[in-house]
Amino acid sequence: MRIIVLGFAVLACLKVWTQDRLYRTVMSDVLIQAYRERAQQVCQKEVTKPAKSPSTSWAAVPAAEIVIGNPHASVAIWDVDNPLWDVRYRHPHIVLTAAGNAKTTCAYDLVVGLVSFSTR
C-alpha cells in the first residue's frame, strides 16, 4: 500500500512540474512574440545615443529570452522600500543578446519600457 501511495505522490509531483514548465515556456514564447519588435526598436534607438552601448544592430538579433527582474539593478532583497525593488525583482524583461567580440545584452523592461545595456 505504501508503494502505491508513494507512486501516486511521485506522479502528482511530475504532473505539477510538467504543467509549470509548459506554462512558463508558453508564456515566455508569447511575451517574446508580442514585445520582441518593440524591444528591438527601443534598443536600436538607445544605441544611437552617444556613450550608451557599443555599435550593435539590434534589428536582427536571434537570441531573446524572458527574465524576471533586472540583475544589474543594485537593490538588496530585504530593501523593499527602495523604489527600484520592483524593477530588480518583479518586472519582466526581454533580454536581447548580440554575439560579437563581447557579448552585449539589451534588457527591455516590459512594464516601464526602458532599456539597460550590459557587456559580459
> Which pLDDT value is given to residue 51?
57
What string of DSSP letters covers 35-104?
Answer: HHHHHHHHHHHHHTSTTSS-----TT--EEEEEES-TTS---TT-TTSTTHHHHHT-EEEEEEE-SSS-E
Q: Determine the pLDDT at residue 86.
A: 87
pLDDT of residue 73: 80
Give the Cα separation of 108 and 89 in Å (integer). 14
pLDDT of the residue at 119: 76
Residue 47: what pLDDT?
72
CB of 71 closer than 8 Å to CB of 91: no
Which of the residues in the chain have pLDDT under 50? 53
Cα–Cα distance between 13 and 65 in angstroms, integer? 27
Q: What is the structure's pLDDT at 98? A: 77
Of 14, 61, 68, 10, the C-alpha closest to 39 is 61
pLDDT of residue 19: 97
What pLDDT is attached to residue 99?
A: 66
